Structure formats: C-alpha cells, structure tokens
Amino acid sequence: MKNAEAIRHAAGIIKKGGIGAFPTETVYGLGANAFNPLAVARVFEVKGRPSFDPLIIHVAHPQDLERLVKEIPSPAKKLMKRFWPGPLTVVLLKKEEVPDIVTAGLPSVAVRMPKHPMTLRLIDEGGCPLVGPSANPFGYLSPTTAEHVRKQLGDQIDFILDGGPCEVGVESTIVSFHEGAPRLLRPGGVPLEEVESIIGKVDITPVEKEKPLAPGMLPKHYAPRTPIIIDHHDKTLPTYRDKKIGLLAFQDPTTSFPFQHIEVLSKKGDMKEAAANLFAAIRRLDALNLDMIIAEAIPEVGLGRAIMDRLRRASGVPHP
C-alpha cells in the first residue's frame, strides 16, 4: 500500500473507534482517538497496561492543545516552540473534556507533537488527537520498527502504519509544568542540557508517590526477558565462563571473554546513533536465549542520560 492510501485507511479505522500502531521519531505508538474512552480502554487492554498509568496525547499542531489544556505556562511554550515537532512531552493542567481514562484520573495531561510526517497526517485525517503509549506489551522494550510491533501485537490491533525505523530510538523527554516549577519526569530524546539551555534549571529529583507519575519510572520497565546487568568487571567475568553471555557494547569492545554475541551500539561512539540502535540491539540479544546480557555503562551526558535510564530499568535497578 502506498503511504497516502495506508494513512487514509488507518484514519478511517481511528474514526470508527479502532486502534493501531503509528510511527514517530522516538518509538512506535499504539494509537486511538483520545476522546473515545472505549477505544482508549482497548489500548490499555491490548498492552496489558495498569489503568493507573496515564497516556500521552499526540497532536499535529500546537494549536490542538486548546481542546486539551487549561493554560500553557511560558517556559512550556518556549520548549514547544524550540522542540516541536520532536521528542519532548509536556505535562499541563488538563481541560474537563479530556477523558479520565487517558490521564488515569490525574488533573494533568501529557501532550506532544511527534516528528513523523505520516503520523502528523494521520492525526489530521483522523480528525482527533491520538493517545499513544509505546506499542509494546507493558513492561517490555519499546518498538523501533513496524516489525517489532507486528511480532508482539500484530494480531490484536487494527492497523500498523510502517514509517521505517525510528530515528531517535528512545522515548520523548517528559517535563511537567502543572505543579509550577518544571520537573523532569523522564529523560528522553531531548537532552536535559538542551531543555535547561532554554528554560534554566529543571528539578530532576524523582517523584516519590504511590502512583508513579511516569510509570516509565517504575523500577522494572523496558525489560527484556534475559537478565541484564550493567557494566562488567573483568574480575567477575571469568566466573561466567560456562554461561551464555551477550555483550551490549557502546563502541567496539576490547575483550577476550568468549561472549556468545556482541552488539555494538555505535562504532564511532556517537550517542545519537547509539540511542537509535538501543532497543533493536537489546531485542536481538534477547532473542538468543542467553543466560545474561552485560551492558556497558556509558557517560551520562546528553542522550547518554536517557540510554542509561533505560538500561537501568531494563536491569531492574533504576537508580545508580
């Protein structure tokens, strides 16, 4: 199917209350009309996602926020101006009309304008903003290709729009504004340094509440089936000699350990390339029935912060 036709087909399904996967620059999303609570409920069901975990609403134009939020504080406006369309989500006070199922009953709503022409057109043709959690079963790695979605959710959803591999590869950066001072809820595709260069200091202390504000912040999340540990100490490695171990390396590794398989995120040591390859590389390792995956730690600057965040959560040890 040609793109235009595929988009028209998908938009028709969305209008009728169906659900399907759409490409973004970060990861693939599982879309439904944000104003159709039944369709949104099906998204939760298909993902196996707990209902206390609110969804991001995707818009095609900044003006679309008028239907969704009460007000946009000026630092939020500045970020939207600089990074939209792009991997930035802002959390703002919601309008009454936004269904509670979308926000898990919170007074705030997360919104973003993704950078992918097919999805922007899908939102326009569908005539409604789209909820879009990552299109993976809850707790598993986010999909960065249409094939990833097809394998895990293909038979449970109504369409998959194939927009090629995701350019950024880690989810959007989430900054909340509804409590006043800006707060980082999830590091992601826009580095914290770039956010702070526009609006100054952002609170990065994790939110401790019974309802996690961003369950991407749950301790065990983005996890493969294979146990994953971060960093290897050459002293402990030899004790694993009889085990099947995979290595997730940042650059070409210098190791004599007989790894079963090695995935290199970026030969030239480029963070952008590493982020774009991250989830697909972990998926490939996860498919090999290894006893363990060892992931190299990388510097936590720029996109390195989001990459290390995802690696820690995949390993079940969220904080350094």
What are the residues binding Mg ion (CB under 5 A)?
Answer: 134
Task: Provide the 8-state DSSP code for 178.
Answer: T
Binding mask 150-179 for ligand TXA (x = CB under 6 A): ---------------------xx-x-x---
Q: Which of residues 64-83 bind ligand TXA (CB under 6 A)?
A: none
Please state, in angstroms and as integers, the Cα–Cα distance from residue 292 to each residue in 53, 60, 166, 231, following that order. 29, 41, 27, 12
Looking at beta carbons only, is 207 or 297 nearer to ligand TXA?
207
Q: Tell whether residue 215 is a contact of ligand TXA (CB under 6 A).
A: yes
Looking at beta carbons only, is 146 or 247 nearer to ligand TXA?
146
Q: In what order do the strands lie in the sheet with 108-112?
A: 159-160, 20-22, 29-33, 130-131, 56-58, 108-112, 88-93, 173-176, 183-186
Q: Provide the terminal-to-terminal Cα distance of the chain, rounded to the nearest Å.
A: 47
Q: Which does 55 bind (CB under 5 to 8 A by kind): Mg ion, ligand TXA, none?
A: ligand TXA
**Angle, helices 117-126/3-15, rounded to nearest 10 degrees:** 40
> What string of DSSP letters covers 126-140?
HTS-EE--BSS-TTS
Q: Which does 114 bind (CB under 5 to 8 A by kind): Mg ion, ligand TXA, none?
A: ligand TXA
Binding mask 268-297 for ligand TXA (x = CB under 6 A): ------------------------------
**Minimum CB distance to ligand TXA, residue 23 (Å):** 9
88-93 vs 108-112, strand pairing mode: antiparallel
Q: Which does 108 bind (CB under 5 to 8 A by kind): Mg ion, ligand TXA, none?
A: ligand TXA
55 neighbors 129 (Cβ within 8 angstroms): no
Q: Tell whether residue 216 is a contact of ligand TXA (CB under 6 A).
A: yes
**Minimum CB distance to ligand TXA, residue 26 (Å):** 3
131 neighbors 45 (Cβ within 8 angstroms): no
Helix (H) or strand (E) holding 216: none
CA distance 128 to 132: 12
Q: Tell whether residue 103 is a contact of ligand TXA (CB under 6 A).
A: yes
201 C-beta neighbours (distance < 10 Å), count? 9
Q: Which stretch binds ligand TXA (CB under 6 A): 11-19, 213-221, 291-299, 310-318?
A: 213-221
Helix (H) or strand (E) holding 173: strand 173-176
Binding mask 21-60 for ligand TXA (x = CB under 6 A): ---x-xx-x-----------------------xxxx----
101 neighbors 41 (Cβ within 8 angstroms): yes
The residues of the shown chain that bind ligand TXA, judged by CB under 6 A, are 24, 26-27, 29, 53-56, 87, 89, 91, 103, 106, 108-110, 114, 132-134, 171-172, 174, 176, 185, 213-216
